Amino acid sequence: AQQTSLTSGCTECTTGMLCPGGAFKSDCPPGQFGDPDAAGQCKPCPHGFYCEGGKKKEKCPTGRYHNATNQSSINSCINCIKGYYCKGGNDITPCPIAKYGSMKGGKTEEDGCANCELGKYGTGSGKDIETEACRSCSPGFYGNGVDQSSNSSYCNICPKGHICQGKLDKTHCELVSRL
């Protein structure tokens, strides 16, 4: 391999440094980072990261995110919104059907999303209020206690000889007549 020597008084431009025209070198400015594959060039900080300048880009921590570029501070990473959880960076994931997220800053599905109570089915993903995310079966139906993903998969028609109030259980008519 051929080696080149630097002229006396010159230093090599390295990753994280900006060297326009070879005249001088300085750190990459805030909101940019040094590309390890192209020494002497700075790149815009990507979505989900912040770059304080120099070599590194830092990912937004779990429970926080942002969707902007050229961010220079961790303060640009905002708390995950209700109804979602954030694994860091710009990864913002909606709470799945039959779950809801009533608080900001959820880091995982388990941390950021609560289950609909048994006897209710889910109405959609990304919901932040229990009463919007979870519904009871209509009177004349009961919940099967298994698949809470939709009304049609969860709610069963009440069998003959039973009374169903739209909850998880069904009451046999003989029991009702004795009351």
Q: What is the chain's length? A: 179
pLDDT tens digit string along 9-44? 555 666 555 555 555 566 788 999 887 776 678 889
Q: 26: closest CA among 65, 53, 62?
A: 53
The DSSP H or E segment spanning 93 is strand 91-94
pLDDT tens digit string along 40-98? 788 899 999 999 877 789 999 999 999 899 999 999 999 999 999 999 999 999 999 99
Strand 171-172 and strand 17-18: the pairing is unpaired
What is the token pair recorded at 110?
């388990």
Q: Radius of gyration of the chain from Cα atoms?
A: 28
Question: What per-residue confidence (pLDDT) applies to 11?
Answer: 57
What is the token pair recorded at 13?
């431009």
- CA–CA gap between residue 107 and residue 115 (Å, rounded): 16
For 28-72, the DSSP string reads PPTTEEE-TTSTT-EEEPPTTEE--SSS--EEPPTTEE---SS--
pLDDT tens digit string along 1-11? 333 444 445 55
Asked if residue 134 lies in contact with residue 116, where contact means CB atoms within 8 angstroms, the answer is: yes
Torsional sign, CA 60, 66, 68, 71: negative
pLDDT tens digit string along 119-154? 889 999 999 999 999 999 888 888 877 788 888 888
